[in-house]
Copies of this chain bind each other. A is one copy, B any other.
Amino acid sequence: MISAPVPEQCNTLPMQALPGFRDFLPDDCARRNYIFARWREVARRYGFVEWEGPPLEATELYKKKSGGEIVEQLFNFTDKGEREVALRPELTPTLARVVAVHEREFKKPLKWFSIGQFFRYEKQQRGRLREHFQLNCDIIGEKDLAADIELVAVSIDILRAFGFTEKDFVVRISDREFWTDFFRDENVPAERWDDLLQAIDKSAREPREKTAEKLGDLADPVFATLKSGGKSAKLEQLVEGLRARGLADFVVIDVGIVRGLAYYTGIVFEVFDRAGKFRAIAGGGRYDNLISQLSDGAISLPALGFAMGDVVLGELINEIPRAREAIQKATANDRKIDIYVVIAKEQRRADALKQIQQLRDRGYRIDYPLTPTKVARQFQAAEDLGARVALLFGDEWPQVKIKNMATGEQQLIPTDNFMSRVESTLR
């Protein structure tokens, strides 16, 4: 979805997007819209309603609660009014802010989703972008595990809508409470928990010695638990809930998942391609305390959510033939127009434009040559644009020739019966 990587620099003005930012040419934009449409469609099947926050927020909204990598890579600056602001790195703090103020206007639980662009500033590396689009789905006001099951289920069904099966991706589910219970059993003081969780989060991506050093005296029992997998009734109940929906094959319990963000409190999960080739496709979990923390305890609502980005998802779509063919077919069809109007005689241009206007008013997608053009080139354009029929205005006037572009079949239709004949050919 990235446009040509090294366009020529033809003068002193910038001829490329900023590093890490994408231009979406029509084909890229069609792919992006296809992804957005699947996201929206499945979220709505689950009764989620769409909302959106602003792309710029006060920096402190993230500094205090997000923690970890997100704050290190904040795309922040001081605005002309001396405000510390940041291009949003994630949606959850905005959601917590909006819900804390507006929650009385809505019945609980809220099931909200959002599709928007997010930003980070990090050292430039090949294939690492500074912006991406994300779907966020959140459920607010329900502490029961049923909400966690519903959330994992919608994340699975969204990926199924792209043509992926249980052979293509897996949801790794875990529970922060599993580890906080573990720390409590091991008599670890609470102030060490956050650092330990971060060390466990990174353990799969770091050398064992480095993790061991961070874990200290807990290294042996933590490694043993990661190896044996741990036992959790709550996680097994989550799997059973998905089994009732026929979705159990899409999940595995993996207590090694704890997520980088500081605000998670319970169930957490990440979605990976089965082949382990890409970074996480999606991730999320419970953040039962965030709304209360942001509102100084004024509003307390349990909450959970996940985000799925367009970049890794796009890579996986390219990797899996079923998904790749589905997006190719859909975007090719989406590009097609209904009717190309061939103006074979310039004297007929005004007549043609009158009909074009009426056909467009009925919702048909129509193109035509803006200026005098050879008829053969016009039919070529009709084909290039994927027109289903061509309408030729020429010598036959006041009859119009209609050509079915798929079959090549041609007919003459009188203008007094024009609209119904065109519509029946298109049907």
Contact = CB atoms under 8 A, between A and B. Distances in A.
B7 A295 contact: no
A380 to B, nearest CB: 9
Interface string A144-183: 1011001001000100000000000000000000000000
A49 B61 contact: no
A14 B52 contact: no
Contacts of A56: 18, 21, 87, 119, 131
Nearest to A85: B18
Contacts of A98: 3, 23, 25
Interface in A325-362: 335, 337, 350, 353-354, 356-357, 360-361
A322 B54 CA distance: 30
A32 interface: yes
Interface in A241-281: 241, 244-247
A236 to B, nearest CB: 16
Contact of A102 (B4, B41, B363, B366): B4
Contacts of A26: 49-51, 112
Given A14-B60, A296-B12, A54 B131 contact: yes
Nearest to A101: B7
A15 B101 contact: yes
A52 B133 CA distance: 13
B14 A144 contact: no
A46 interface: yes
Given A10-B100, A25-B102, A55-B55, A366 B146 contact: no
B353 A294 contact: no
A29 B385 CA distance: 33
Contacts of A105: 25
A47 B354 contact: no
A21 B54 contact: yes
Interface string A24-68: 111011101100000001101111011111111110110010000
A379 interface: no
A214 interface: no
A14 B57 contact: yes
Nearest to A340: B47
A191 interface: no
A230 interface: no
Contacts of A47: 337, 365-367, 385
A324 interface: no
A109 B371 CA distance: 10
26 contacts: A3-B98, A12-B296, A13-B60, A13-B61, A13-B64, A13-B294, A14-B57, A14-B60, A15-B100, A16-B97, A17-B54, A18-B56, A21-B56, A24-B51, A24-B53, A26-B49, A29-B51, A44-B365, A45-B360, A45-B364, A56-B131, A75-B80, A109-B370, A144-B371, A241-B353, A245-B356
The 7 closest A-B pairs by CB, nearest first: A11-B296, A47-B367, A21-B54, A7-B101, A77-B77, A24-B52, A146-B370
Given A14-B58, A14-B97, A75-B80, 15 more contacts: A3-B98, A7-B102, A13-B60, A14-B57, A17-B54, A23-B53, A25-B51, A28-B51, A44-B365, A75-B79, A77-B79, A142-B371, A146-B370, A147-B370, A150-B370
